Amino acid sequence: MRYKVLILFCALIPATSYVELNAVVFPNQVAVTVKKQSVKEPKLFNEGSYSCTNNFLNFVLNYIFKYYPMNKLLVVYLIVFINLIISCKNISTNFNTIDISKSLDGNSQVSLSSISTNIEYIQLQSDSNCFLGRIRSPSRNIQFFGNKIFISDGTKILSFDSCGNFLTQYGKQGRGPEEYQDIRSFTIMPDEEQVVILSSAMQKVLFYDINGKFLKDIRIDFMPIALTTFNNRLIFINPKGLRGFSEYYTLSIISVDGVLQNRLISRKNEKEIDKKEKIGLKALDSHTYVLNNYLHHWESLYDTIWEISSDFKIFSKNYIDYGSDKLPFKYILESNAKNVTIDELKNFVIFQYFFETSKYMFFELGNKGKLNHIYYDKYSKKSFNLRFNEKSGNKTYFSFYNDFDNGLPFWPDGVLSEEKVFSLIYGYDLKKYYTKIKNKPDKIITPQEKKIEDLISQTKLIDNPILMIITLK
C-alpha cells in the first residue's frame, strides 16, 4: 500500500522537474524528506519532511491544482491517490526530526546545575567476594531494579544495595548445567523479579531469582548480541552480519518459556547485500530501552529511533539529523569496514551512541576526528555541543562542568530512570582530578567539596568504581 502511494506521487511530478526525495516506508506511514529540487516551473514545494497524512497530501494537491489544473490524466491520478490515502488506516503522525546538525560546530560550557537538581555518589563495596573487572558498555552492564544495583563485568553479575553494599552473585562461569560460558548481556524481568543472562557462546539463556538461585535455562537457535525485557517478554537484538539466523529481523520477541512470538524491524536490504558480499561485524552499536512505557530501538548506520507499544505495534518515532557528512552506508560491508583508515573516517560525522530521558537526549558523535557530546532539550528543541576541555587520567572531557562540588565533569554512561542518569568513575581518576583542582591558588573548600574529599580518602586505587548519579530537572 505505501509503496503504491509513493510510486503514484512520483508519477505526478513531470519530467521537467528534478526533485531529490528521501522516502522511508514504515509499517504505518510513508515519510518523505525533500532535499533538493531544480524545476522549470516555480518551486514545487518547500524542503522538509512529510508523511502520509494531511501535510503530505496537501503539498501534492497544491502542486497539481496550481500547475496542471486542466490535465485530465492528473485528475484521474488524483482520485486514485485520494482513495489510497483514505484507505490507509492507523497512519502514524509521530514521525519527528531531531535536528542537532547546527550544534556540530558549537562550543558551549554548560554547568551541571542547569539541567539537574542533585548529585550523589555510591561507592561500591570492594573485597575478595565482590571485586569487579573493567566494566565495558556501562549502559548495558549496569541496571537498576527496586533498591538494587546489578553489574556485569562480562564474567559475573553481582548485585549491590542502594548504599553500595554487596548482596549476591548470579551463577558462575563454566560449562556446567547451571553455568554460563560468557555473559553477552543480561536483563531484569520486573514482574517475576528474575535476572536473565544471555550466554551467546552457548546460545543459552539462564534464569535466576532475585536472590541468586538458579531457576532454568532455555536454548535459542539464532545469534543475538543483547537482550532486554518488555511487557513480560524477552527482546533479543540481532546484529548486522548475523541477522540471517533470524530471517533478517532486528528484534526477536520470545516468551519466558522460549517460544518465538514475533519478529520486528525487517532488514531485507541486508539479505540482498549478504548475497553479494559479507556484512561487517564492526558496526554493532545499538541501543534498546524503555521510556514512557514504550520500547525504543536504534542502531548505527540507521538513523531512526523506533518506538514499540506494549502490544508490539511499531512505528518510527524520531529521525536524527546530524548533517550531510554522515558515514556512508557502504561501510556496512566487511571489506570496507576492515580496510578503512583513520584519515578516511575523519571526513565523516559518525553517530556513535545516545541516551534518552523524559526531557533530554544525550548524543555522542565522532565529528571528523573530534569527539562531540551534544545534549538536546526535547521541550525547547535546542541542542548544545559541550566543550569542557579538562584532562584527567586517560580521559578528555567534553562534559557538563560540575558546579555542584567541583568534582569530575559529568557525561552520562547510562540511564537509571526517566529522571536520573549515571556515570561510572574510578578512584584514580577522581583522586587525580581533584588534586589538580584543590591545588589551585586561593582555593576555598566548600561543604560539598569536603564530602568529595572524605569519599576520596576512603577510596583505594584498586577499589570497585563509584556511581555518580544525577537527578535531572
Reduce the DSSP state of residue 456 to 3 states and report it.
Answer: helix
Q: What is the percent of the chain where pLDDT is above 70?
A: 75
Q: What are phi and psi of 383, to 5 degrees?
A: -130, 155
Q: What is the percent of the chain where pLDDT is above 90?
A: 52
For 332-352, what is each residue's pLDDT tens digit?
888 888 888 889 999 999 999
Give the residues across from 254 on adjacent strands.
Answer: 234, 260
Query: For residue 439, what is its C-alpha cell?
Result: 591545588
- The most confident of the ranges 91-100, 172-181, 357-366, 420-429 is 357-366
- Is the confidence at residue 238, as pLDDT, over 70? yes
What structural domains does the chain harbor?
Answer: 2-93 (no CATH), 99-472 (2.120.10.30)
Place of cell 554512561: 413
pTM: 0.78
Closest to 300 (Cα-Cα) out of 264, 336, 352: 352
Decide: 237 and 249 in contact? Cβ < 8 Å. no
| Residues in Cβ contact with 272 at an 8 Å cutoff, skipping those fewer than 6 apart | none
pLDDT greater at residue 215 or residue 70: 215
User: What secondary structure letter does DSSP report for 113?
Assistant: G
For 410-460, what is each residue's pLDDT tens digit?
999 999 999 999 999 988 887 777 776 666 655 566 777 777 777 877 888
Q: How far apart are CA 151 and CA 159, in angstroms?
A: 6
- Is the confidence at residue 245, as pLDDT, over 80? yes
For 165-207, what is each residue's pLDDT tens digit?
999 999 999 988 889 999 999 999 999 999 999 998 899 999 9
pLDDT greater at residue 245 or residue 390: 245
| Residues in Cβ contact with 349 at an 8 Å cutoff, skipping those fewer than 6 apart | 104, 322, 323, 325, 326, 327, 365, 366, 367, 368
